């Protein structure tokens, strides 16, 4: 439950239907037993009849059912690293990736280095709900989105949402909404009839879709992805094979079309989409923190919907960062494209014809002995890429984003050819660390140059950036927009 101070803010947000708070808290109505978003179009209940919850899982665990009018499953999410302990953040990330679908509570706690009892206590303290309740709400909301927005058979939705059986799926839906899955679908219509599966993901506003497209367009890998101001397309590799994803901005949401993605992979792919396009960033908090610096305040005025672009493939991003050491973004992208076309996994004929894409970026196993020098890559960088590929393949270097950043930095920077800039840039985009900061980056130094053009030292930049914590990644993006730079 929120504090009394939070409750007074939530009361005002509920009465005003303030969209800035959508997804940040939920309203349990004691007279109906339903929980709603603060933007629910229904007549606001009397304050004496409501309870406020910081998460949908907490409302569900308290016995409230999701509202069918405002549909809590369609609210923007809250980022896992926002306002929680490190252990809870890592736990949330693992749950998002299906950790509790594959194993139990004790195994999750063991991965996080705590006891199951302590992990539950941390979750209840920070989120108002147990890990199992968080996982249950995630499955429930994703299943409801698939019921409403797709024509997938119910058995496939049960698999996609992580239910062990169709019976468990049916029971969970009926308990939550007092209707069967089929009855819910009839209420919303028959869904789509397209070649792919299309979902709509809400984002926190303001949101600079055009800036994201420009960022990706400057780094597009021919054959792997294509970008323009209206559409982003990408070939991706999942546990079940190769597929494609297409995104466009439509009426204040991201419209996502997935092709050749198996039901069991859908949740993971959708979670990656949300990371890559940073849809859940608490942009109001970020803007308030960074606007205290005059240089960043001016950049925020020009780019109020700034986001940190994520990556589809963490290994690919690291390879591209290595290629980008001391060369232009364009040159590094050209070299990465050659690697993809030579060693990538090809799409099937149908996928090529539909999307115009050809390959996915190669897995580490394909590059640990690759003769990259034949592609125009200098010997030292080719050797570094092979060393990183071998380390990832053997497990010496983990690309698991739930691992402590200190462990990744230690393992990564001990590899010959890897310096601080490459490591921080990997944290910033591949691991979505909101406080990563490549202080020695030339674009950042140029953006912070004095009136005479003199660039500050990296140590001076680090000292200045202390006031930007914990949002230094977003500060980096703002500074790069001023110079047109960025890794």
Query: pLDDT tens string for the chain (487 positions)?
Result: 666 556 788 899 899 988 888 998 999 999 999 999 999 999 999 999 999 999 999 999 999 999 999 999 999 887 766 667 788 988 998 898 888 887 889 999 998 889 999 999 999 999 999 999 999 999 999 999 999 999 999 999 999 999 989 999 999 999 999 999 999 999 875 545 445 799 999 999 999 999 999 999 999 999 999 998 789 999 999 988 899 999 999 988 999 999 999 999 999 999 999 999 999 999 999 999 999 999 999 999 998 999 999 999 999 999 999 999 878 899 999 999 999 999 999 988 777 777 789 999 999 999 999 999 999 999 999 999 999 999 999 999 999 988 888 899 999 999 999 999 999 999 999 999 999 999 999 999 999 998 888 999 999 999 999 999 999 999 999 999 887 666 5
CATH of the domain at 13: 3.40.10.10
Q: Which residues contact 172 (CB under 8 A, 6 or more apart)?
A: 136, 139, 140, 143, 163
Residue 253 CA from chain centroid, whole number = 15
* pLDDT of res. 193: 43
- Is the sign of the CA dihedral 401, 403, 409, 412 positive or negative? negative
CATH of the domain at 271: 3.30.310.20
Quick one: 66 and 105 in the same domain?
Answer: no
Quick one: 179 and 92 in the same domain?
Answer: yes
Quick one: 120 and 179 in the same domain?
Answer: yes
Identify whether the C-beta of residue 433 lies closer than 8 Å to the C-beta of residue 314: no
Quick one: 94 and 175 in the same domain?
Answer: yes
Quick one: 254 and 222 in the same domain?
Answer: yes
Quick one: 172 and 226 in the same domain?
Answer: no
Residue 108 inside a domain? The answer is yes
Residue 149 inside a domain? The answer is yes
pTM for the model stands at: 0.89
Report the alpha-carbon distance of residue 455 to residue 445 in Å, rounded.
6
Residue 320's closest CA among 340, 302, 303, 350? 340
Residue 416 CA from chain centroid, whole number = 30
- Which of 245, 276, 307 is where one domain is finished? 276
Is residue 70 part of the annotated active site? The answer reads: no
- Which of 74, 106, 128 is where one domain is finished? 74
Question: The tokens of 76 are what?
Answer: 């923007």
Quick one: 171 and 209 in the same domain?
Answer: no
Task: Provide the domain count of the chain.
Answer: 3
Residue 14 inside a domain? The answer is yes
CATH of the domain at 127: 1.10.10.60
Is residue 6 part of the annotated active site? The answer reads: no
Residue 385 inside a domain? The answer is no
Long-range contacts at 182-185 (CB < 8 A, ≥ 24 apart): 182/154, 184/144, 184/147, 184/148, 185/147, 185/148
Residue 435 inside a domain? The answer is no
DSSP string, 131-156: HHHHHHHHHHHHHHHHHHH----HHH
Quick one: 166 and 131 in the same domain?
Answer: yes
Select which of 22, 36, 213, 265 is catalytic.
36
Quick one: 39 and 101 in the same domain?
Answer: no
- Which of 234, 253, 276 is where one domain is finished? 276
Select which of 22, 208, 433, 441 is catalytic.
441
* pLDDT of res. 194: 47
Quick one: 66 and 95 in the same domain?
Answer: no
Quick one: 98 and 176 in the same domain?
Answer: yes
Residue 290 inside a domain? The answer is no
Q: For residue 171, what are the domain limits?
A: 86-188
- Give, as one character, the DSSP assignment of residue 362: P
Residue 440 inside a domain? The answer is no
Residue 303 inside a domain? The answer is no
């Amino acid at each position: 439950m929120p504090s009394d101070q939070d409750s007074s803010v939530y009361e005002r947000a509920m009465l005003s239907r303030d969209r800035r708070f959508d997804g940040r808290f939920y309203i349990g109505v004691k007279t109906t037993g339903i929980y709603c978003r603060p933007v629910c179009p229904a007549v606001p209940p009397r304050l004496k009849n409501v309870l406020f919850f910081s998460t949908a899982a907490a409302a569900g665990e308290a016995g409230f059912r999701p509202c069918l009018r405002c549909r809590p499953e369609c609210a923007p999410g809250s980022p896992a690293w926002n306002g929680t302990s490190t252990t809870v953040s890592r736990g949330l990330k693992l749950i998002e990736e299906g950790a509790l679908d594959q194993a139990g509570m004790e195994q999750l706690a063991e991965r996080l280095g705590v006891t199951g009892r302590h992990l539950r206590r941390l979750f209840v303290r920070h989120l108002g709900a147990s890990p199992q309740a968080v996982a249950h709400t995630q499955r429930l909301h994703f299943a409801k989105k698939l019921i409403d927005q797709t024509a997938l058979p119910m058995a496939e939705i049960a698999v996609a949402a992580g239910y062990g059986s169709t019976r468990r799926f049916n029971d969970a839906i009926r308990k939550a909404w007092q209707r069967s899955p089929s009855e819910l679908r009839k209420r919303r219509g028959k869904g789509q009839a397209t070649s792919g599966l299309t979902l709509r993901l809400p984002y926190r506003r303001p949101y600079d879709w055009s800036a994201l497209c420009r960022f990706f367009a400057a780094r597009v890998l021919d054959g792997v992805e294509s970008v323009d101001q209206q559409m982003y397309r990408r070939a991706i590799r999942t546990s079940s094979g190769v597929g494609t994803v297409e995104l466009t901005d439509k009426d204040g949401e991201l419209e996502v079309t997935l092709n050749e993605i198996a039901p069991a992979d859908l949740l993971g792919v959708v979670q990656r989409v949300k990371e890559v396009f940073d849809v859940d960033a608490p942009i109001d908090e970020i803007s308030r923190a960074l606007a205290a610096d005059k240089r960043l305040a001016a950049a925020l005025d020009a780019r109020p919907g700034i986001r940190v672009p994520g990556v589809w493939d963490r290994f690919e991003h690291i390879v591209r960062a290595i290629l980008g050491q001391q060369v232009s973004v364009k040159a590094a992208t050209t070299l990465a494209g050659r690697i993809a076309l030579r060693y990538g996994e090809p799409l099937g004929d149908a996928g090529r014809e539909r999307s115009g894409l050809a390959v996915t970026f190669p897995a580490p196993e394909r590059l640990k002995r690759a003769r990259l020098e034949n592609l125009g890559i200098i010997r030292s960088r080719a050797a570094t890429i092979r060393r990183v590929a071998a380390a990832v393949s053997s497990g010496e270097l983990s690309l698991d984003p739930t691992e402590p950043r200190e462990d990744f930095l230690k393992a990564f920077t001990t590899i010959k050819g890897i310096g601080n800039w490459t490591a921080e840039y990997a944290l910033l985009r591949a691991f979505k660390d909101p406080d990563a900061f490549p202080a020695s980056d030339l674009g950042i130094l140029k953006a912070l140059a004095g009136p005479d053009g003199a660039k500050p030292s990296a140590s001076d930049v680090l000292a200045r950036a202390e006031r930007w914590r914990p949002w230094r990644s977003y500060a980096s993006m703002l500074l790069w927009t001023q110079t047109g730079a960025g890794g």
